[in-house]
Structure 1
């Protein structure tokens, strides 16, 4: 990568286009910001990039978006639009030595009166210490940083770096934008050998990734196909694309959130869809089993005590059967949760009780319910006045169990749904007995 770190300031963009034998995606790279497809919300006149270009002054920026949405192209064109020197590094291939060279070259360019736009691809792959290394150069104006990431910056980038840059979100390319991209390819290479239905299928298979779409189109061109392919023939010719899904990244959190909220919202169809999305994308089934258990206790609780048992049984069934047979047990548990009566009363009670415990510290329980294992403790009053509830009328003494310095609290309030309706009746009955017995 030595050519990226030359001390001689290069022109913002190469004066000539890509070679004739370059990949189709390279040959179709936009030559100006207004040619960027699908990101008009930031590149248009009213967008953040459009306004910066009009002002002729850039601020450090993080471009966050899915693969193949134009992040690299936007960075190059942004430098050209404001006459800045363009320097690029990749967090995948570059180390500390490469960054030092880039900053040294930018220092020299600044002395010569030329500003540098430093583009950092996959910036989230730099560790926290390396990210901190950008800060002094950004603060002193040695470089204007433009980072590109497919991961949520809130999770992957230092707060200090984020505070010095604005985050711009690039959209996944929709069908219309991908269709325009294919039209550009056909203007250059000729009509694709596809029926209209196959063309729609090709666009759908791209999953919003423009680069992937052009690579698939190039495969079709290179094959020299004479007759138009239908959807079935296209599927047989091209490998099906695996869904983009990083199990420890934002896609993971988005889908598990959608699954949890679909279950909470009592939508069994959507719940099953998101469960399928995660399993077919390669999620660990036992992770999903753990999340289903959590949903059972957080969103259903005692409204249907069987929900927890269903989830634990599904976990056991999956461990016994393995994949793919055992995944049916997870689907059954998911449907049980989605169709069960909902209550978060236990969840709210737990949070309230934990908060109260932290606030009250080490208050002593009332003497009548503390243990008295020794004669000294009995003589000191430990356990004095305790009423054994099974000996009381109705099996209920009504004695107070709260510390004397603390008013009785209400943490758990059952809802009028499912089994908790019966629990509410019991609590009301016991409250009535307490009042009657003083």
Structure 2
């Protein structure tokens, strides 16, 4: 029997530190999934080898290693490491850090200031960094999950390099699991399929993965290997990365649009499901489908806009989840419909010309003459009523006086627009025939 002082303490520091903390890399080479930045011939790797730090913004998803990289940059270049969270820090905390950094600088030591969630500082607070970054009092390394070009001041952004961290892929996540098993000298109680499911459940977040691994390693050592169903009962799936007000919102709606435009209903349904699972307002999606029907399909498939409007109406009547099926049906219809931006381009060109020729009057023959005076002035004179002409087409000029005829609408050779194109070509031929007859 072991003596009492030989038993492991309930408060043993190493044993009770979170697994993610115990596995925190001790060198840049141990950081997984970010070789495009950290390799010796990559931007951050070269910077460390040359021991020339520059202020930087680390932009990447949660659990991709931003905090670890910042800490290792300080260690590898022998500068003091200060850390603040924009969520919990204010002006007083910043002043204290800057004053401490100034005193270090006077004795020849640099300071790396790591600011987590830097996008949460307001514009005035971000401006407060500028003089200290410019004069070298601190090397600023900010971490953000949001697009810096949207969330950070242009002045601050211009003084920092932006390094984009990748979501951890399957290889990187499996590497973390293997490290955890070596550190704890215990394999995870999972069968092969469950192991793959665990990686998928992490959704690219290394920290979240290690938290799930720690939960699983707390199970009894003689636990029968879990299958996927048993795994999902033991651990919680990571909530998908989605924020209705930030970049992921715009990324996913862009992906949905481009998948529909590219005739890929399966990819489009995937992005639709991702948005709905993330909590997006289905009515926002419905409005975007109506816009897509007009902008990307137009007269190539005139029913497209009606399908989109119907989906909007059905959802408003039924709500979730039943109404979401109508939105999915519209997504499939729009994805498989012929595409044309002919109307979109035609309207843009017409508006541009309208700005240039806005004062030109319509030709007199297409103006109404409700008074005797207007009739005497020539309003409506020689107007031809098209249905009464032999071809049902008069060929009259409807452009402003003093403006040559122009072509804006050029229908695509697909879908319903192919029929429109044939009609326009026929009318153009009749118009030319009348012109030749007159000459």
Identify the residue that residue 236 of structure 1 maps to in structure 2.
Answer: 233
The answer on 1:219 being equivalent to 2:215 is: yes
Residue of 63, 70, 77 corresponding to 2:72: 77
Identify the residue that residue 115 of structure 2 maps to in structure 1.
Answer: 120
Moved more, 219-228 or 68-77: 219-228
Residue of 409, 412, 421 corresponding to 1:412: 409
Identify the residue that residue 8 of structure 2 maps to in structure 1.
Answer: none
Alpha-carbon offset, residue 101 of structure 1:
2.0
Work out the CA distance in 2 between the residues paired with 1:410 and 1:322: 44
Work out the CA distance in 1 between the residues paired with 2:179 and 2:411: 61
Alpha-carbon offset, residue 204 of structure 1:
1.7
1:72-221 superposed matches below 5 A: 72-191=67-186, 192-221=188-217
**Cα 1:360/1:97, change in 2 over 3 Å:** farther
Moved more, 377-386 or 98-107: 377-386
| Deviations 1:130-187, CA, capped at 9 Å, x for gaps | 2222222211212111111111112222222222111111111111111111122122
Identify the residue that residue 300 of structure 2 maps to in structure 1.
Answer: 303
Alpha-carbon offset, residue 362 of structure 1:
2.6
1:384-395 superposed matches below 5 A: 384-395=381-392
Identify the residue that residue 41 of structure 2 maps to in structure 1.
Answer: 46
CA contact (8 A) 2:208 2:238 kept: no
CA contact (8 A) 1:293 1:308 kept: yes
SS in 2 for 1:119: strand
Work out the CA distance in 1 between the residues paired with 2:269 and 2:148: 30
Residue of 421, 426, 430 corresponding to 2:423: 426
Alpha-carbon offset, residue 18 of structure 1:
6.8
| Deviations 1:223-272, CA, capped at 9 Å, x for gaps | 43522222221111112222111122222222212211111111222222
The answer on 1:277 being equivalent to 2:281 is: no
| Deviations 1:380-421, CA, capped at 9 Å, x for gaps | 544444333344443332221112232211110111111111
Q: Which runs of 5+ in 2 are unaligned?
A: 1-11
Work out the CA distance in 1 between the residues paired with 2:108 and 2:214: 43
Alpha-carbon offset, residue 66 of structure 1:
0.8
Identify the residue that residue 11 of structure 1 maps to in structure 2.
Answer: none
Identify the residue that residue 262 of structure 1 maps to in structure 2.
Answer: 259
Identify the residue that residue 318 of structure 1 maps to in structure 2.
Answer: 315
SS in 2 for 1:141: coil
Alpha-carbon offset, residue 374 of structure 1:
5.0
Identify the residue that residue 14 of structure 1 maps to in structure 2.
Answer: none
CA contact (8 A) 1:18 1:26 kept: no
| Deviations 1:263-299, CA, capped at 9 Å, x for gaps | 1111222222221221222211111111111221122
SS in 2 for 1:145: strand
Count of matched residue pairs: 422
CA contact (8 A) 1:18 1:27 kept: no
SS in 1 for 2:124: helix
Residue of 284, 288, 291 corresponding to 1:287: 284
TM superposition score normalised by structure 2: 0.91
**Cα 1:376/1:128, change in 2 over 3 Å:** farther
Work out the CA distance in 2 between the residues paired with 1:136 and 1:385: 75
Alpha-carbon offset, residue 377 of structure 1:
4.7
CA contact (8 A) 1:271 1:338 kept: yes
1:305-384 superposed matches below 5 A: 305-373=302-370, 377-384=374-381
Alpha-carbon offset, residue 128 of structure 1:
2.3
SS in 2 for 1:167: strand
Work out the CA distance in 2 between the residues paired with 1:347 and 1:272: 25
Work out the CA distance in 2 between the residues paired with 1:88 and 1:362: 63
The answer on 1:245 being equivalent to 2:242 is: yes
Alpha-carbon offset, residue 27 of structure 1:
1.4
- Cα RMSD of the aligned pairs, angstroms, is 1.9
SS in 2 for 1:328: helix
Work out the CA distance in 1 between the residues paired with 2:76 and 2:383: 83
Identify the residue that residue 10 of structure 1 maps to in structure 2.
Answer: none
